[in-house]
A and B are shown apart, each in its own frame.
Chain A
Amino acid sequence: MLTYLLRRLALALSVILATLVSTFLLFFAGPGDPAQAMCPESRCTPERLAQISRSLGLDKPLVTQFTDYFQGLIVGRDFVYAGDTVHCGAPCLGFSFVTRQSVNDELFSRFPNTVVLALMAAVIFVTVGVTSGIFAATRRGTPTDRIVVGVSQVMGAIPYYVLALLTALYPVVLWGLLPQYAPLSSGVGPYFVGMVAPALILGLVTSSQYTRYTRNSMLDTLSMDYIRTARSKGITERTVLFKHGFRAAMSPIATILGLDMAALLTGTLITEQIFGVDGIGRRTITAFRALDLPVIMGSVLIGATVVVVMNLLVDIAYSFIDPRVRLS
C-alpha cells in the first residue's frame, strides 16, 4: 500500500512540476510581449518600453526569472515596487502586470464564486441525474424510459455554450424570469439567487451524463443474482431497489463525481463568461486579453493542481475500496 501511495504521489508531483516548467516556458519565454501590451501605443518610446520591462523583471535572464518564480512558490519572495519592498508569502504567484495586485488575492478572492457555482451545479446534477437515471432504469424499455434517455442524449449533445447563452439571453436578460448575477457585496440573498440561472443550466446539462451513468449502473446491478435472490425472498420492490440496488449502483457514480468536480472547478469558464459570474475562469479570460502573464500562470497552475490532487484522492480512495488497483 505504501509503495503504491508513494508512486502515485511522485507521479502527481512530477505532473505538477512539468506543468509549471512548460507553462513558464510557453508564457514567459513565448512571443507575447506584456510590456508592449501595457504601453499605450501613442506614447510608447523604446525607453518607456525598457523601463516597463525592467519594472516587471522581464529583462532578467530566463533562468533567473524561473528560479525567482519557483522560490516564490516554495518559500515566498520580496518584490520591489517603486522603492517599496513588498513581501509575498508562499505560495507566491507574483503580481498582476495590469492591476498590480497580488495574483493570490486576485485569484483566491474569486475562487469562492467558482466553488459556489460548481457546488450548486453539482447538487442539481446529482439530484436530477441520479433520480431520472433510477426512474428510467426501473421502467426499462417503456416509453417513459425512452423519453428520459432521449432527452438526456439531446441535451448532452447540443453545444453547451449555446444552451448557456440562450438561457442567459432569453429567460435572464430579455424576459427577466431569473435574476442576473450580483456580487456577494450586494447581499447574500441576491448573490445566491443570481447564481441560480448559471448553476441551473450547468447542472441540468451535466445531469444528462449522470442520467445515463446511473441508468446503466442501475441496470447492471439489477441484473445481478443477489437482486433476484432478494426479490425471491419476498422483500418489497422498494427495499430491493433502494437498499440492495441503489447502494451498489452508486459506487461507480461516486468515482465519476470526484473526477467531475475537479473538471468543474476549472471548467466553469464558459458559464462564468456568459453569465458574468466573477469567478476564476472569467478573471483568466480577462488576463489573456491583457497578456497578464502572472495571472495566466497562476490560473493554469491552480487548475492543474486541483485536477491532479482530485485524481490522486480518487485513486487512493479507490485503492482502498478495490485492492486489485494497487497491483496493476
Chain B
Amino acid sequence: MPEPSATELKEASDEKPSTTTQQSQEKRTGRSPGQVAWSRLKQDKVAIICFVVIVFFILLAIFAPLVVSLQATDPITKTKATVDAVHTELVDFNGLPEQGSSSAHWLGIEPRLGRDLFARFAYGARPSLVIGFVAAAVSTIIGVTLGLLAGYLGGVVDKVISWVIDFFLSLPILIVIVAVVPLFQKSIQGDGNLSAEETSNLRFWVLIVVLFVLGWMGLARLVRGEVKSLREREFVQAARAIGVPTRGILFREVLPNLVGPIIVSASIAVPAYITYEATLSYLGVGLVEPTASWGRTIADAQTLFATYPLWLWPSVIGLSLLVLSLSLLGDSIRDAFDPTSRR
C-alpha cells in the first residue's frame, strides 16, 4: 500500500481537523523527500531484514580474522586455521579432504590445498563488499558530475558527453570487460615479475577501475535529463537572477533535488558490481589466487560439486544472500523514494 502523499494528508486533515492523529500527520507535511523516504523505509519489514543481513556480512568481513580464530586448534597440524595456510597433510592422495566439518574447521577443508574453508568464506566477503561499495561510490560520482555538466551547460559539452554515454552504452559490456581486464593489468604490470600476491592485489584494483569506468553511464543519462528540466524551473532562474555562481546553483539548488534518484541508483549499483565481480571471477578474469573470493571458490568448487558440496555451497549461499539482500534493499529504497510506487 502506498503511503498517503502530502496533499492527501492535507485533504484528510481538512475533513477531520479535530483528532490528534490527523494533527500529527499534518505536521509531517513539511518533511523533505529524504525524510519521507526514511520513515517509509523504517516501516518496511523486508528492508529491515535485508539491512540486518548486510550488516552481518559487513561485520563478518571486518572481523574475519577474529571470527576465524574462534575455531579450535587442529589436532593434526597443531595450529589454528588461517586464511592462506596450505596444509596438504589434511588431504588424501586424491586431493580429497580426510575430514568433513569439525570444531577446528567449521566448513571443512579445501580439497587439494587443504586450506580452511571457513576462513576462505569469511575473508571472501571482503573483496565482494569492497568492490561493490567502492565501484558504486566512484561510478556514482562520475555519473553525477558528467550528468550535471551535460545537463546544465548544454551546447557542445552536452553533445560530447551524450555521445560518450551513447558510445559506452553500445559496447557489449561483458565482452569488453573480459577483454580489457587482462590487457589493462598487463600494461600496468609491464614485464616486471610480480609475486602471486602482488598480481592478485593489482587485479583487484584493475577490476574496480574497469567496473566503474564502464558503469557510470546510466546514472549520467538520468541526471542529465533531470537537470535539463530543473534548470528551466523558477527557483533555478531566480538563483541565477540574483547572481548565484554556477557552482552554487549546481550544488545548492539543483543537486539536492536529485538526492532521491542518486541514492536509488547507487543502492542498485552495489549488488550489480558484486555480481559482476563474482561472474568475472567465474569466467576466469576476476580475482586470482591467493585472494579469497566467493566467485573464485564457486568456480573451483564446481569441479567437485557432487563429491564435496561443502566446498561449493557456503560461497553460493553467501554470495546469493548478500546480493539478494542488497538488491531487495535497493528495491525498497526505490519504492520509498517513489511517491507513486504501487506495492
Contact = CB atoms under 8 A, between A and B. Distances in A.
Nearest to B271: A157
A14 interface: yes
B118 to A, nearest CB: 20
A211 to B, nearest CB: 13
Interface in A280-328: 281, 284-285, 288-289, 296, 299-300, 303-304, 306-308, 311
A159 B279 contact: yes
Given A31-B183, A288-B179, A307-B170, A158 B323 contact: yes
B172 A307 contact: yes
Contact of B186 (A31, A285, A303): A31
Given A15-B170, A165-B282, A273-B283, A27 B175 contact: no
Q: Which residue among A18, A161, A304, A307 has the maximum number of chain B CB atoms within 10 Å of its CB?
A: A161
Nearest to B326: A157
**7 closest cross-chain pairs (CB), A and B:** A303-B172, A157-B327, A266-B172, A31-B186, A159-B275, A31-B187, A307-B170
A11 B169 CA distance: 13
Contacts of B172: 266-267, 299-300, 303-304, 306-307
A162 B342 contact: no
A112 interface: no
Nearest to B313: A166
A266 B179 CA distance: 14
Nearest to A141: B1
Interface stretch (B32-40, B148-156, B298-306): B298-306
A63 interface: no
A299 B323 contact: no
16 contacts: A15-B166, A15-B167, A19-B167, A19-B170, A26-B179, A32-B183, A32-B186, A153-B331, A158-B323, A161-B275, A162-B298, A162-B320, A173-B306, A266-B174, A304-B171, A307-B172
A27 B179 contact: yes
Given A15-B170, A153-B327, 14 more contacts: A11-B163, A15-B166, A156-B327, A158-B320, A159-B274, A159-B275, A173-B306, A266-B172, A270-B282, A288-B178, A300-B172, A300-B175, A303-B172, A304-B171
B129 interface: no
A312 to B, nearest CB: 10
B342 A219 contact: yes
B316 interface: yes
A140 B342 contact: yes
Contacts of A149: 343
Interface string A114-154: 00000000000000000000000000110000000100011
Nearest to A265: B172
Nearest to B162: A11
A315 to B, nearest CB: 11
A159 B175 contact: no
Contact of A270 (B174, B180, B183): B174
A174 interface: yes
B175 A269 contact: yes
Nearest to A270: B279
Interface residues of A, number: 49
Nearest to B172: A303
Interface residues of B, number: 42
Contacts of A288: 178-179, 182, 285
Nearest to A273: B283
By DSSP majority rule, is chain B's interface helix, strand, loop, or mixed? helix
Contacts of A299: 172, 175
B278 interface: yes
A160 interface: yes
Interface in B305-335: 305-306, 316, 319-320, 323-324, 327-328, 331
Nearest to B315: A162
B176 interface: yes
Contacts of A219: 342
Interface string B281-303: 01111000000000000100010
Contacts of A284: 175, 178
B283 A157 contact: no
B78 to A, nearest CB: 36
Interface string A16-60: 001100010011001110000000000000000000000000000
Nearest to A216: B342
A169 B309 CA distance: 11
B312 to A, nearest CB: 8
Given A158-B324, A270-B283, A27 B183 contact: yes
A184 B76 CA distance: 53
Contacts of B182: 32, 288
Contact of A14 (B163, B180, B285, B316): B163
A308 B180 contact: no
A304 B179 CA distance: 14
Nearest to B189: A31
Given A269-B174, A307-B170, A311-B170, A159 B319 contact: yes
A11 B166 contact: yes
Interface in B165-202: 166-167, 169-172, 174-176, 178-180, 182-183, 186-187, 190
Nearest to A297: B179
A165 B179 contact: no
Contacts of B176: 300
